[in-house]
Each structure stands twice: as structure tokens, then as C-alpha cells.
Amino acid sequence: MTQPIAPVFHRVGNRRHEFTLAPDGNRDWHRGRVPGLSRHWLKWRGGYNPKTLQRERRLADKRPLWWLIGLGGLACAAPMLPDTLLQVAVVFCVFAAINVIWTLIIGAAGILSLATMAVVGLAGYAAAAANVYLGVPWPLMFAVGAFVGLVVGGLLALPSTRIDGLYYALLTIGVAEICRVSISQIRALAPQNSSINNVGSFIPQDWYLQRPGLLLGFATAFVLLLLALLLFRVINSERLGLQLQAAREDEDFSEAVGIDYRRARLHVFLISSAALGFVGAYYAMLYRSISLNVFSLDQLLLMFAMIVIGGMGRAEGAVIGTAIVVVIDRALIDLGPLRIILIAAVMIAVTLTTHHGLADVRSQFRGWRHRIRSERRAASTRKGGEVMPEEATEIADKQLIAYRRFDRRLRDRLKEMVTPELIEQHRSAPLGPHSDALARVLNYFRRGEMPDKYAILQEGDAGAWRYSVMALSGEPGKPPRVVDDRVYETRDEAYHAVFLLRVNDLLES
């Protein structure tokens, strides 16, 4: 008894390595939802494999996976890092949180404000002053910071409705400078170089700059980053964000359908400013002091570089850009001023080559590849049995399209193999042995479709056979037709005649 041969499945298609789950076909289709909301946790897409007819489950949007890998990796690796690198990680988390919130202002609200660090700094100063001079306990500093951020945001938002785009951006560059100068004028702070020190903090005094303090700082900074991302998600992908997205696409239309986008912009700006104020208070607590460096133009430009490198308007862009710049700026500290030049070079390269920063490189590359392909396709004038793009949409069986493309390429190659020597070789030995080229050509002929396939008709008596060539109709019940009236004496001659006919057909196709 023979063993049944197990079928071998080869992975085919463009995305053959994409991971799919195989859920039980008898179970109901279902996706988990966020409790209390109609949102799904992840973008699962179910379907049936057209070949095997098995249930398949595919993650259509894999970004959560990348977030998990990136942030999870950071969280796991941080406790093992040496102190200096741990500090870099802390700086990364704080700056990434600020940039994510800033992205909300630039991307979602569409207000090109460069006064971010001014809000952070003012809130930080206010919170620190409240703690040091008024004795407010540290947990309340967050509230003070957020409140000051809200107020400053409100003041900054006033001109934003009147002045648009780049004008506003230029104006806000000056704001940080004003803040710096104003605070440096405060007499009470003058003895300590205008900084506020010994701010109360969640890090106990004797842990400060020690290993446990650094770990605690990292843990809180990481949570801060997660909170910022959550805020981004809640605002950008929910009601406010969708309203603003509609306004970005067409202001007049969105207004006509009842979206008050100016108000939505203002709301996002105020919420983001309050969040920045929160971060400012955190910043003052993390370092137990705050100084005028927060307001420096260089710091602002560095933050702007982060946003630009990653890509304005996307959370992943803000985080990627922050990672790149912080690593260059803090981890390669030996390079001196060269590292800022390096950052500027990266910034220029990214701006000149990408449309929306590094976060968008993948889709930009795909668009480019798509364009090149379609250009090439449009430029090709040969058809040769291949399906042209416009008819491809009409054909349901996509394998047919692929087969015809393959067939054309195969014929193109075989045509090059047909030479007088090859024909002579077949004439002398129709049944072999064959050279490799001849074997390939013959193999192709053998695989031909049944309609118009040639056959040899043997007539006469034994010893005096006569051969002629016929073409099969390919349809049941319909007899073959005679190709020509030539008669061959030997079977080999007939074989060769069929071969010549096929070669002729091949070269003409």
C-alpha cells in the first residue's frame, strides 16, 4: 500500500511572509473593544484564504506592534544601562513627551507655534516658585504647572486667531526670549543666577543623583511619555482631532457642515498648553531646580530639529526624531560642537529629501516605487499576449494575469534560443538525445494548449506508411483539420515538420 503524499504548500504572493493567525473556523467572528467605547483595541482583519479556504486573521495596522517593541525595549533595557546612559534615556522620555504634545499643536491644531519651551519654562518656574516660596507640597506643583500652562496658552492663543502661519511662528520665537529677559529681571532670583533651586520632588532628597533616584526618575519620565502619547491618541483620533482633520482638508466645507474649527483649534491649543505646563512642573521636580537655560534659543532650535527630523504632525515622528537628536546630542558628547553640526546636517538632509520627515519615509518610498513601476509599464509598447494594466482589472482570476506575463517572458527567452543549428539538430534526431536549449523549446511546445495543437496522421499500409500533419480543434466532438497537403515518408520527417510549424508559430507570436 502506498503512502499518501502530503501536499506541499509554497508561500506565494507579494506579502507571503506576513504573519497571520489561524483562528478556529467554527468560532464566531469577534474583536475586543475598549471598555466603555466603541473602539477596537487593534485593527484585526478577518478573511478566508482563497486557496486553502481556512480562516485567517491579520493585523492590518501594525503600528501598535512597533510601539510595543520600541517602548517595551526601552523600558526593559533602561534598568541595565549605566548611569550616564540612563540619564540620556530620561532626557529622551521628557523631550519626547514635550515633542508629542507640541506635535499636537503643530500637527492637529495646525498652529505653527515655537513658544513650546516658553510655556514649559514659565510653568516650571511658577511651580518651582510655588513650592519653594509659598510652601506648596510637591504633588500640587503639577496642578500649579498645568494651570500656569493653561493661562500662558490662553495668552499665546490670542494672536493666533488673527495672525496666520509663518507670521505667528516668527512672533512666537521672540516669546521665549521675552520670558528669559523678564525672569532675569526678577531681583529676588538674582543671587542664584535667576534659577530656583532645592525644589521639592517625588525623588527623595538623599536619592537625588543616586542610582535609585535615577531609576525612579526614568520610571516617572517613561510614564510621562506614555501619558503624552495617550493624550495625543485621545485628542488626535477622537472628536476634536477628526474635526481638525476635516478643517485641514477643506476649511470652508468643514465650516459649512457645522464644524467650528477655530474653536476646536483653540481647545487643542489650550489642552496642549496645560499639558506642557504639567511637563514643566515635572521638569522642575526631576532636576530639583529650574534655570534660564529652558528658554534658550539653542534649546528651542534643537527641539524643533527633533520634530522636523521625525516629521511634523505624527506622534511616531516626534519620538523617532527625539531619539535621533538626543542620541547625537547627549550620547556622543565627545564630539563637541561637531554634534550640533551633525544634527543640522541630518535636518537638512531629511528636509531636502523627504516630504514629511523620517516617519513617512516608508510610504514615500512606496509612492516612489509605484510611480516608477507605472511609468515603466506605461512606457512599454510590447504586448505579446501579456495582460495590459487596464484589462487586468477586468480579469477575476489574477493567476491568469501572472501566467500570461510569465508565458510572454518565457517565449521571449525561447525565441533567442531558436537558431539554424538548433533546427538542424532536431532534424537529425527528432527523438533525441537533445541539447539543453532544444529540450527547453520542446518542453514548452509540449505544454501548449489543446486548441490548434498539432498531431500526426498515419495512413496507408504497414511498411508503406504515409504521414501528414493535422491540427486538433480542442473542442470535444469537433474533428481535427488538415494543416497542409504535404505528405511525409518517415515518421521522423513528420516530427520535424511539426517542430518547424511550432517554431514558426513561436517566432510569429
Partner 1 sequence: MDAALIVYALNLSAIYALMAIGISLLWSSIGMLNMAHGATFAVAGYGTLVLGNALLPLVEAVFDGWAILPLLKMTVLLLSGVTVGALFGGLIYLLGFLPIHDKANFPVRGMIVTLAINLATVQALLWWFGPRQQALPNVFGFGRLNLFGIPLRYDQAMTIGATVVLLGVVLAWLRLSRKGLEIRAMMQNAEGAALSGISVRRTALPVVAVTGAMAGAAAVLLSQTVYVSPGAGAMPLIKGMIIALLGGLGSVPGAAIAALLVGTLEAVTGAIPFLGQRMVLVVQFGFIITVLIIRPRGIGGLLSETRK
* Contacting positions for partner 1 (CB under 8 A): 112, 158-159, 162-167, 169-171, 173-175, 177-178, 181-182, 184-185, 297-298, 301, 304-305, 308, 336-338, 340-341, 343-345, 347-348, 351-352, 355
Three cell numbers at 426?
532536431
Which CB atom, from 339 or from 426, has the smaller least distance to partner 1?
A: 339
Which CB atom, from 184 or from 490, has the smaller least distance to partner 1?
A: 184
CB of 111 to partner 1, least distance (A): 13
Closest CA to 324 of 354, 344, 353: 344
Which CB atom, from 72 or from 159, has the smaller least distance to partner 1?
A: 159
Closest CA to 78 of 222, 213, 209, 224: 222
CB of 248 to partner 1, least distance (A): 13
Which CB atom, from 21 or from 338, has the smaller least distance to partner 1?
A: 338
Which CB atom, from 140 or from 301, has the smaller least distance to partner 1?
A: 301
**CA pair distance 328, 446, nearest whole angstrom:** 64
DSSP letters of 39-65? -BSS-EEEEE-TTT--EEEEES--HHH
Which CB atom, from 174 or from 385, has the smaller least distance to partner 1?
A: 174
Residue type (1 letter), 266: L
CB of 355 to partner 1, least distance (A): 7
Which CB atom, from 105 or from 414, has the smaller least distance to partner 1?
A: 105
Which CB atom, from 198 or from 293, has the smaller least distance to partner 1?
A: 293
Give the total residue count for the chain: 509
CB of 373 to partner 1, least distance (A): 22
CB of 206 to partner 1, least distance (A): 37
CB of 164 to partner 1, least distance (A): 8
Tell me the three state secondary structure of residue 191: helix
CB of 289 to partner 1, least distance (A): 24
Scan for cell 489650550, then name that residue.
Answer: 270
Three cell numbers at 74?
526601552
CB of 328 to partner 1, least distance (A): 12
Which CB atom, from 65 or from 345, has the smaller least distance to partner 1?
A: 345
Three cell numbers at 71?
517602548
Closest CA to 280 of 265, 291, 268, 264: 291
CB of 129 to partner 1, least distance (A): 19
Tell me the three state secondary structure of residue 455: strand
**CA pair distance 93, 168, nearest whole angstrom:** 28
Sign of CA dihedral 499, 502, 508, 509: negative
Which CB atom, from 344 or from 402, has the smaller least distance to partner 1?
A: 344
CB of 341 to partner 1, least distance (A): 5
Sign of CA dihedral 129, 134, 135, 139: negative
CB of 239 to partner 1, least distance (A): 27
Residue 287: other Cβ atoms inside 10 A: 20
**CA pair distance 226, 203, nearest whole angstrom:** 19
Q: Please, which residues have CB within 8 angstroms of residue 235's CB and are 6 or more apart in sequence? A: 104, 108, 241, 268, 271, 272
Which CB atom, from 139 or from 165, has the smaller least distance to partner 1?
A: 165
CB of 155 to partner 1, least distance (A): 10
Strands 20-21 and 55-59: antiparallel
Which CB atom, from 167 or from 406, has the smaller least distance to partner 1?
A: 167
Which CB atom, from 125 or from 218, has the smaller least distance to partner 1?
A: 125
Q: Please, which residues have CB within 8 angstroms of residue 364's CB and are 6 or more apart in sequence? A: 354, 355, 356
CB of 174 to partner 1, least distance (A): 5
Q: Please, which residues have CB within 8 angstroms of residue 509's CB and are 6 or more apart in sequence? A: 384, 385, 411
For residue 35, which phi and psi values (nearest 5 degrees)?
A: -55, 130
DSSP letters of 323-368? HHHHIIIIITGGGTTHHHHHHHHHHHHHHHH-SS-GGGHHHHHHHH
Scan for cell 510595543, then name that residue.
Answer: 68
